[in-house]
Amino acid sequence: MENSRRDFVKKAFAGAAVVSAGGILPGFSAKSYANILGANERINVASMGVVSRGHAVGTNFASQENCEVIYSCDVDRRAAEKFVNSVADIQGRKPKIEKDIRKVLEDKEVDALIVTSPDHWHAPAAIMACKAGKHVYLEKPCSHNPREGELLMEAQKKYNKVIQVGNQRRSWPNVMKAIEELHSGVIGRPYMAKTWYANNRGPIGVGKKVAVPDWLDFELWQGPAPREDYRDNIVHYNWHWFWHWGTGEALNNGTHMVDLARWGLQVDYPSRVNSSGGRYRYDDDWETPDTQIINIEFENKSCITWEGRSCNGKHVEGGSVGVLFYAEDGTMLIEGGNSYKIFNLKNEVIKEAKNDQVIDPQNLSNPAQALDALHIQNFFDGIKKGTEVRSEIVGAHQSTLLVQLGNIAQRTGRTLDIDSSTGRIKNDKQAMELWSREYEPGWEVTV
């Protein structure tokens, strides 16, 4: 913590005897004293991107006793103000509003940055934060393209900052127990993992070029992305379906379950990836697939499949999301919540760990607040105690890359051969053109 904060805390403790002997000093409530006396234990965070999911993650941080949210950073003035009021209701103090993340990162009082902005901002903001000496809680996907994932790993190593990626299920107790059992051989060697996501999303129409709303700084919203005209069907959510800013359903939701699949199979980089699908349901501006199957093969005779259906929400195995591990002696199902089932080869349930938390995978902003707090506390332990965080950047990049390669295979229309030691595409110049992206001049991402 900074010297000014340490001095403040020392003075607070020096006056603690006054509190115990004569009660609360004038102008201070009991909560104020509790906050002062705990100031040296709290981590000051700035929250970047506070609409919907960002609002939920930021207020979850504010709800942690060992944290204080001191910045609301968003290019949408309305969202920034709403977040300020929500945080004030939780922690008793209003965070500052600053729409420009560069100015936020100049503040030495900020210990960590939460990045819940659109995908094209994820890696650039995280790398900027590491350069500024801040730790990072980075919502998935960790990067917009594979090269940014490589740069994130370089930045973490160079600046030695904690990066926790928002693969929150890695901190859910029953999910952790399920993977532990899988690795112990409860159903023999797992060799295939099937993952899926299903929803009923409507059309986004054909966007019209209109004036930028007065509540939005579209220049800062675009940030590192090359400039395009504002259209009325981009902000706030539909950017997911444009390659220029988003990464499609594969990274929007597929990343979560593919990460569990890779964890369970104990694999790193693949050897071959292909994809089929497209924008099948509606005729509109949506560019990424709404229907997609990605197949990912590994050299140890195992594979992962991901099935994405954005416009048909029919459940698989009773859930809109999930992962099935097929193994020599049985099958394991990790459902959308904090639960799992183990089956023998006769399809009989031989063990079931039930979820004891209310979880709604279709809740886009906050499906599992209490469980996600465990992931946040693991992040704090990484900062304060040096504990290894459960979704560190190398593993998070490897998981993200699996579905990024699926999207590259989809866009090129062919199977990709992969160097299983690096994850890089072999002998395909056209596919490697999608490995990185162009940036707006002056916004290039460097470590």
Quick: pLDDT tens for 418-442: 999 999 999 999 999 999 999 999 9
| CATH code, 265 | 3.30.360.10
Residues 213, 181 share a domain: yes
pLDDT for the residue numbered 8: 37
Q: Which of 169, 195, 218 is the last residue of a domain?
A: 169
Residues 243, 229 share a domain: yes
pLDDT for the residue numbered 18: 36
**Residue 215 placed within a domain:** yes
Residues 148, 187 share a domain: no
Mean pLDDT, range 318-331, rounded to an integer = 98
pLDDT for the residue numbered 406: 98
Q: Which of 135, 152, 169 is the last residue of a domain?
A: 169
**Residue 377 placed within a domain:** no
**Residue 444 placed within a domain:** no
pLDDT-derived band at 51, boundaries 50, 70, 90: very high
Distances (CA, A) of 172 to 115, 168, 189, 371: 21, 7, 23, 6
Q: Please give the residue range of the domain that contains residue 248.
A: 172-365+393-432
Residues 214, 98 share a domain: no
**Residue 136 placed within a domain:** yes
Residues 131, 97 share a domain: yes
In the β-sheet with 67-73, what is the strand arrangement from edge to edge? 96-97, 67-73, 43-48, 112-115, 135-138, 163-165
Q: Which of 169, 193, 211 is the last residue of a domain?
A: 169
Query: 240: cis peptide before it, omega within 30°?
Result: no
Q: What are the helix (H) ranges across 310-368?
A: none
Residues 283, 152 share a domain: no
Residues 144, 183 share a domain: no
The CA-CA-CA angle for residues 252, 254, 257, to 5°, reads: 130
pLDDT tens for each residue of 216-235: 999 999 999 999 999 999 99
Residues 148, 12 share a domain: yes
pLDDT-derived band at 369, boundaries 50, 70, 90: confident
Closest CA to 93 of 133, 62, 122: 62
Among the residue ranges 36-40, 171-175, 321-325, 341-345, the one predicted with the least confidence is 36-40
**Residue 299 placed within a domain:** yes
The CA-CA-CA angle for residues 162, 113, 119, to 5°, reads: 95
Residues 231, 86 share a domain: no
pLDDT-derived band at 339, boundaries 50, 70, 90: very high
**Residue 132 placed within a domain:** yes
**Residue 386 placed within a domain:** no
Number of domains in the chain: 2
pLDDT for the residue numbered 204: 98
Which are the contacts of 165, defined by CB distance < 8 A and separation ≥ 6? 138, 139, 140, 142, 391, 392, 393, 396
pLDDT for the residue numbered 367: 54
**Residue 440 placed within a domain:** no
Mean pLDDT, range 405-410, rounded to an integer = 98
Q: Are 194 and 332 in contact (CB under 8 A)?
A: no
Residues 206, 186 share a domain: yes
pLDDT for the residue numbered 79: 98
Token readout for 259 is 């990460």
Residues 133, 193 share a domain: no
Exposure string of 267-281, with b = 16+ CB inside 10 Å and e = fewer, is bbbbbbbbbebebeb
Token readout for 303 is 């594979």
Query: Mean pLDDT, the chain, as a whole number?
Result: 91
pLDDT for the residue numbered 235: 96
| CATH code, 56 | 3.40.50.720
Percent of the chain whose predicted confidence (pLDDT) is above 70: 89
Residues 202, 55 share a domain: no
